[in-house]
Amino acid sequence: MHTYATDASERESTPIWLAFIAVVAALSLSSALKIMKLEVPWWVDAPSVMGFYGLIYQWFDKCLWFQKFSFVSFSAIPNLQGTWVGTIHSSYGSGTDVPNVVLYIRQTWTHINVRLVTHNSSSYSIMAAVNTYESSEPCLKYEYMNEPSALSVNTMNAHRGTANLQLSSDGNELAGDYFTGRGRQNLGTMEFKLISRKYLKRADAINRAAPLLRPKP
In DSSP terms, which residues pair with 85 in a beta bridge? Answer: 102, 193
Highest mean pLDDT (candidates 30-39, 153-162, 188-197): 188-197
Q: Please, what sign has the CA dihedral across residues 207, 213, 215, 217?
A: positive
pLDDT tens digits, residue range 17-75? 999 999 999 888 888 877 877 776 655 565 688 889 999 999 999 999 999 887 788 99
| Residue partners of 118: CB distance under 8 A and separation at least 6 | 88, 98, 100, 101, 102
Mean pLDDT taken over the chain: 88
Asked which of 5-19, 108-122, 135-149, 195-209 is least confident by mean pLDDT, the reply is 135-149
In Å, how far are 82, 95, 106, 159 from 76, measured between CA atoms? Answer: 18, 38, 17, 33
Task: For strands 173-180 and 121-130, give the pairing.
Answer: unpaired
Q: What pLDDT, on the 0 to 100 scale, is given for residue 94? A: 72
Tell me which architecture the domain covering 82-211 has in CATH: Beta Barrel (2.40)
pLDDT tens digits, residue range 61-118? 999 999 988 778 899 999 999 999 999 998 876 778 899 999 999 999 999 999 999 9
Find out whether 133 and 76 touch, Cβ atoms under 8 Å.
yes
- How much of the chain exceeds pLDDT 90, in percent? 61
Distance from the first to the final alpha carbon of the chain:
41
The model's pTM: 0.87
